Structure formats: C-alpha cells, structure tokens
C-alpha cells in the first residue's frame, strides 16, 4: 500500500488530500499520467492546441496543415478512411496498432503491459496492418467517408 496525494492526479483538488491505495492503483494512476503527458507533447509538437471548445479540434488542426482546399479535403478523407479501417479491426489488434503507431510504444513495452509474448504482439500488429490494407483496398470510392454530424 502506498500513500498518494489526490491533488497530484486530479486538477479539481485545491488542497492536499492524502489516501492510501494499492500498488496496482498507483501503477494505473502513473500510467494514465504518462499517457496524458505524451498526448500533451504530441499536441504541442503538432501545434494541435486551441482555445476553441469543439469536438475533434485536435484532429482538425492536425489535418489542416495546408492552405490548398483540395489537398485539405483529400487529407481529411484519408484520415477518415484510416480511422474506419482501424475501427474495423478486432479490439486487441486495434489497441496494439494504436499503441505502437499512434502512441509510439515499442512492441516490447506493449507485450510487457499486456503480459504476453513480444512475438504475439508483432504478429498481431502485422495481421492488423494487413487487414487494414485489405479494408482500404475494398472500400469503394463512392462510399460515404465520414459519418455526417
């Protein structure tokens, strides 16, 4: 058991609040903090921050890196196709591909986090990429790319 200060993990605490939690909870809290820190670094690196409060503002600012309207539409369509292809995968494959390519985790770290062999992670990622490729090749051109809002 470890003692943590809730103020370190939750922004709405304006005073120190110490509680005793198990080691597993501490590990998850620190894992969440590392994930949020990595997300913040990606947002700063890609200049994907804004004071606007809109849905998908990070995605929109990441995709909008050109002044050419045609190129912008093509990038947004490509982004939506990739999202749909990733969402078409089984949960484990999608989670591993997201962790490796989007979050930048190594295959060894993914295997350690999930408690599996690194070879299983490598095979899962390669099969997932093959499935995404097949999905993208079979996606018809006239198919609605992104759901309407």
| 128-147 residue pLDDT tens | 999 999 988 887 665 555 55
43 closest CA partner among 56, 30, 62, 60: 62
Give the CATH class of 67-149. Answer: mainly alpha
Answer yes or no: pTM beyond 0.85: no
Q: What is the pLDDT of residues 25-39, one digit of tens each?
A: 889 888 988 888 888
Give me the count of residues in the chain: 149
Phi then psi for residue 2, to 5 deg, are -130, 155
Q: Where are the domains of the chain?
A: 67-149
pLDDT of 57 higher than 90 = no
Distance CA 3, CA 21 (A): 6
């Amino acid at each position: 058991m470890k003692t943590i200060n809730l103020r370190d993990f939750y922004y709405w605490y304006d005073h120190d609040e110490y509680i005793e939690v198990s080691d597993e909870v501490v590990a998850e809290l620190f894992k969440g903090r590392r994930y949020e820190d990595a997300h913040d670094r990606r947002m700063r690196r890609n200049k994907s921050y804004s004071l606007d409060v809109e849905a998908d503002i990070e995605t929109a600012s990441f995709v909008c890196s050109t002044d050419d309207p045609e190129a912008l539409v093509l990038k947004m369509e490509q982004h939506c196709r990739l999202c749909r292809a990733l969402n078409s995968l089984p949960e484990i494959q999608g989670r591993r591909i997201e962790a490796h390519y989007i979050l930048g985790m190594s295959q060894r770290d993914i295997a350690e986090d999930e408690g599996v062999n690194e070879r299983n992670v490598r095979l899962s990622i390669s099969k997932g990429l093959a499935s995404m490729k097949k999905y993208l090749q079979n996606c018809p051109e006239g198919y609605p790319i992104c759901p309407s809002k």
